[in-house]
Chain A
Amino acid sequence: MRHIIALLLENEPGALSRVAGLFSARGYNIESLSVAPTEDPSVSRMTITTTGSEAILEQITKQLNKLVDVVKLLELTEGAHVERAMMLIKVRATGAGREEIKRLSDIFRGRIVDVTNSTYIIEVTGTDDKLDAFITAIDRKLIMEVVRSGAIGVGRGEKALRV
């Protein structure tokens, strides 16, 4: 099962390494991790995508909560939420293929953000599934570079994860 965990972390040096270290020391999977400051300069918000059974997820959330630098934690996949990741993908775009890739990018609501004679850089946002689907849709041979941000997410409705 895939889970997305959102954390508010004290903005202390080394806080990121405590989280990363916990995952490696206890052998938990980490699919992606995305972290940046928030409007409150004292905390960073981190989003972790992980896989594991319910029992493992329970341990992950408990162990994370135990870290002194973790202020709050929410498992987003437990409820309704909005989830986004961003991808920049550089593809070879020549001849007739140029038009084909442009059309595909439109279908995925991507944006071409850089153009040369022979390449495009396309920006796509969405769930990880959607980004996967875009990669699958493009001819493998044309892909030059893929950069993905890792998922971020917010729970829907009134409730908010904040200090």
Chain B
Amino acid sequence: MELSGAQIIMQFLEDEGVEFIFGYPGGAVLHIYDEIYRRDKIKHILVRHEQGATHMADGYARATGKPGVVLVTSGPGATNAVTGIATAHMDSIPMVVLTGQVPTPAIGSDAFQEVDCIGITRPCVKHNFLVKDVHDLASTLKKAFYVASSGRPGPVVVDIPKDVTLPDVKIPYEYPANITMRSYNPVSRGHTGQMKKALDLILSAKRPMVYTGGGVILDGASEELREFTRILGFPITNTLMGLGAYPGTDEQFVGMLGMHGTYEANMAMHNCDVLIGIGARFDDRVVGDVKQFCPGAKIVHIDIDPSSISKTVKVDVPIVGPVKSVLRDMIAMLKETNSRPDADSLAAWWRQVREWQSIDCLHYEWSDERIKPQYVVQKLYEATGGDAFVTSDVGQHQMWAAQFYPFDKPNRWINSGGLGTMGFGLPAAMGVQFAFPEAQVACVTGEGSIVMCIQELSTAKQYNLPIKVINLNNGYLGMVRQWQEFIYEKRESHSYLDSLPDFAKLAESFGHVGMRIDKPSDVDSALKEAFAMKDRLVFMDFVTDPSENVFPMMMAGKGQTDMLLPAFCKERELA
């Protein structure tokens, strides 16, 4: 088969099984778009801004586990995509981003719409490629998909100069089904000796704690994690990225940990004697002050990425390998041995954990006058039967969604945990809805974040995506205001968003349904009404209490037990 560069790209993507391309045309990619016009196997989604394209592909990838694909033009097309690429990179999301580039002879001449895309994206990709010869195109694309989706996943950029896609230069094409790269060989199994060592330590534990992150979800190891944790009967906490890997409504689950994690999760972390970290990276929002972290614990760390191990916190038993395979092996070892952790010690430990739980750290005061944002999330949980895909933006609403919507399944909670990208939620929800047209998809957002990618409401109309936008509108950059309240003596420097639009009307102008809800008594009925509209995007603008803060709050750079609690719990903690 003789194909042009543009044809090779499209044929390859079809052969690779790609369903969607999220993209935006421009000069450098016009040969490719001409080829898209002639084909109909892959659905091209026309976004309104390249950042939207990357977040959609990212949301699609997080929900399905398959790499998301983006196509943008050179120059501003590429730079607009950078935020989305960095977002995916920080959370290890598989993504392949094809960027147009000026023709090879023009590279370096400051040509129209030229940027050094490889240079700009280098620090925020897993890897990137510049294709200078059409003969390298198919194999490079295969490498891009392989690198993006294997090992610790991540975004890969392929920069394609316009002359590489010329319609009249045709070369033989064959789909490269397999590719080997001598310099890239992700580990496929854990080291048996290390796993045995870890098991000995785990079985000797008196106050054990399981702490798992996004890696469990990325490797599809949720089932294994459940089995492993249930056999041992240990308390378990998930990071913000790991929610849903273990059922949020299960008895053994003690909530999220970290800066806005539960009191019991952070206390149990601090006081445990054996910590089992799985697919988590001991990030600063979890650890706080490294010197005060888990002072009495021996630490086991299972991770696919060797550089994650002992990066911030020194661990005692590292196991490098895919968490799914390592957990399977360790479950098998557990089943072979009769030895179990000391039951009395474990029972005593659980009593302690339950005591911590009893302070009810997520308590908030009810109001008849003002809508409490936490209440909206609780009602959202009820309205969706706890089974929705929930995306979020970044800020207070993100934390409330994480705290008040317990996820029982993996891949359901989709948020920008690492980079903390405002504007992520809406396009990510769209990516999810493309993958699962029948599913309930909610985007929990705030009035600050939503406007950062609001233009994608237009794309949502074009493709009839029935997303439900839950806008927790308190008129503030709430998390910024919260920090200013606690740390800057209430000096609210630029955290108030003046001149906000009428969001309901705004949504209507895009062709959607808009609602404004300002009474607590209307929250439930509004949500039910919205979710009953199965074929419409409904934008729900909830006017919420601006004084509400996210608790608990571990102060940045302090120890895990140094938490601010709501007034209600403080009394209980003392008692």
- Tell whether, in the assembled complex, residue A55 and residue B307 are in contact, meaning their CB atoms are under 8 Å apart: no
Q: Mark the stretch among B69-77, B178-186, B412-420 that contacts chain A.
A: B178-186
From 167 to 217 in chain B, residues with beta carbon under 8 angstroms from any chain A beta carbon are 181-184
Q: How far is the CB of A5 from chain B (nearest CB, A)?
A: 15
In the complex, B481 has a CB within 8 A of chain A: no
Query: A55-B310, A68-B181, A163-B182 are known contacts. Are A21 and B305 too (CB-CB below 8 A)?
Result: no
From 350 to 378 in chain B, residues with beta carbon under 8 angstroms from any chain A beta carbon are none
Complex Cα–Cα for A62 and B310 (A): 11
- Tell whether, in the assembled complex, residue A14 and residue B118 are in contact, meaning their CB atoms are under 8 Å apart: yes
Residues of chain B lying within 8 A (CB to CB) of residue A55: 310, 314
Q: Mark A1-27, 1 if CB is under 8 A from B, else 0.
A: 000000000100110011001000100
Query: A13-B130, A70-B183 are known contacts. Are A62 and B306 too (CB-CB below 8 A)?
Result: yes
Residues of chain B lying within 8 A (CB to CB) of residue A62: 306-307, 309
Q: How far is the CB of B90 from chain A (nearest CB, A)?
A: 13
- Tell whether, in the assembled complex, residue A68 and residue B130 are in contact, meaning their CB atoms are under 8 Å apart: no
In the complex, B572 has a CB within 8 A of chain A: no
- Tell whether, in the assembled complex, residue B306 and residue A65 are in contact, meaning their CB atoms are under 8 Å apart: yes
Complex Cα–Cα for A71 and B183 (A): 4
In the complex, B281 has a CB within 8 A of chain A: no
- Tell whether, in the assembled complex, residue B147 and residue A17 are in contact, meaning their CB atoms are under 8 Å apart: no
Q: Which residue of A lies closest to B306 (CB)?
A: A62
- Tell whether, in the assembled complex, residue A14 and residue B130 are in contact, meaning their CB atoms are under 8 Å apart: yes
Q: How far is the CB of A63 from chain B (nearest CB, A)?
A: 5
In the complex, B119 has a CB within 8 A of chain A: yes
From 96 to 129 in chain B, residues with beta carbon under 8 angstroms from any chain A beta carbon are 118-119, 122-123, 126-127
User: How many pairs of A and B residues are in contact by the CB < 8 Å rule?
Assistant: 38
Complex Cα–Cα for A58 and B147 (A): 23
> Which residue of B126, B305, B314 is within 8 Å of A68 (Cβ)?
B126
In the complex, A69 has a CB within 8 A of chain B: yes
Q: Mark A53-83, 1 if CB is under 8 A from B, else 0.
A: 0010011001101101111000000000000
Q: How far is the CB of A17 from chain B (nearest CB, A)?
A: 7
- Tell whether, in the assembled complex, residue A68 and residue B147 are in contact, meaning their CB atoms are under 8 Å apart: yes
Q: Which residue of A lies closest to B320 (CB)?
A: A62
- Tell whether, in the assembled complex, residue A14 and residue B306 are in contact, meaning their CB atoms are under 8 Å apart: no
Q: Which residue of A lies closest to B309 (CB)?
A: A62
Q: Which residue of B lies closest to A42 (CB)?
A: B182
From 279 to 338 in chain B, residues with beta carbon under 8 angstroms from any chain A beta carbon are 305-307, 309-311, 314
- Tell whether, in the assembled complex, residue A58 and residue B183 are in contact, meaning their CB atoms are under 8 Å apart: no
Q: How far is the CB of A71 from chain B (nearest CB, A)?
A: 4
Residues of chain B lying within 8 A (CB to CB) of residue A163: 182
- Tell whether, in the assembled complex, residue A68 and residue B127 are in contact, meaning their CB atoms are under 8 Å apart: yes
- Tell whether, in the assembled complex, residue B122 and residue A17 are in contact, meaning their CB atoms are under 8 Å apart: yes
- Tell whether, in the assembled complex, residue A68 and residue B184 are in contact, meaning their CB atoms are under 8 Å apart: yes
Q: Which residue of B lies closest to A8 (CB)?
A: B183
- Tell whether, in the assembled complex, residue A69 and residue B122 are in contact, meaning their CB atoms are under 8 Å apart: no
- Tell whether, in the assembled complex, residue B183 and residue A21 are in contact, meaning their CB atoms are under 8 Å apart: no
- Tell whether, in the assembled complex, residue B122 and residue A14 are in contact, meaning their CB atoms are under 8 Å apart: yes
Residues of chain B lying within 8 A (CB to CB) of residue A18: 122
Q: How far is the CB of A38 from chain B (nearest CB, A)?
A: 15
Q: How far is the CB of A101 from chain B (nearest CB, A)?
A: 45
- Tell whether, in the assembled complex, residue A10 and residue B314 are in contact, meaning their CB atoms are under 8 Å apart: no
- Of A17, A62, A70, chain B has the most CB atoms within 10 Å of the CB of A62
Complex Cα–Cα for A58 and B314 (A): 11
Q: Mark A86-105, 1 if CB is under 8 A from B, else 0.
A: 00000000000000000000
Query: A10-B183, A68-B147, A163-B182 are known contacts. Are A21 and B310 too (CB-CB below 8 A)?
Result: no
Residues of chain A lying within 8 A (CB to CB) of residue B307: 59, 62-63, 65-66
- Tell whether, in the assembled complex, residue A58 and residue B122 are in contact, meaning their CB atoms are under 8 Å apart: no
Q: How far is the CB of A60 from chain B (nearest CB, A)?
A: 10
- Tell whether, in the assembled complex, residue B122 and residue A71 are in contact, meaning their CB atoms are under 8 Å apart: no
- Of B147, B184, B305, B309, chain A has the most CB atoms within 10 Å of the CB of B184
Q: Mark A31-69, 1 if CB is under 8 A from B, else 0.
A: 000000000000000000000000100110011011011
- Tell whether, in the assembled complex, residue A17 and residue B130 are in contact, meaning their CB atoms are under 8 Å apart: no
Residues of chain A lying within 8 A (CB to CB) of residue B119: 14, 17
Complex Cα–Cα for A163 and B182 (A): 9
Complex Cα–Cα for A58 and B309 (A): 10
Q: Which residue of A lies closest to B143 (CB)?
A: A68
Q: How far is the CB of A83 from chain B (nearest CB, A)?
A: 25
> Which residue of A17, A59, A71 is within 8 Å of B182 (Cβ)?
A71
Residues of chain A lying within 8 A (CB to CB) of residue B183: 10, 68-71
Complex Cα–Cα for A10 and B305 (A): 21
Complex Cα–Cα for A13 and B306 (A): 26
Residues of chain B lying within 8 A (CB to CB) of residue A10: 183
Residues of chain A lying within 8 A (CB to CB) of residue B184: 68
Residues of chain B lying within 8 A (CB to CB) of residue A25: 123
Q: How far is the CB of A112 from chain B (nearest CB, A)?
A: 41
Complex Cα–Cα for A17 and B125 (A): 14
Known interface pairs A66-B305, A68-B126, A68-B184; 5 further A-B residue pairs with C-beta atoms within 8 A, sorted by A's residue number = A21-B122, A21-B123, A62-B307, A69-B183, A163-B182
11 A-B residue pairs with Cβ-Cβ distance under 8 Å, sorted by A, are A14-B119, A14-B130, A21-B123, A55-B310, A55-B314, A58-B310, A59-B307, A59-B310, A65-B306, A68-B183, A163-B182
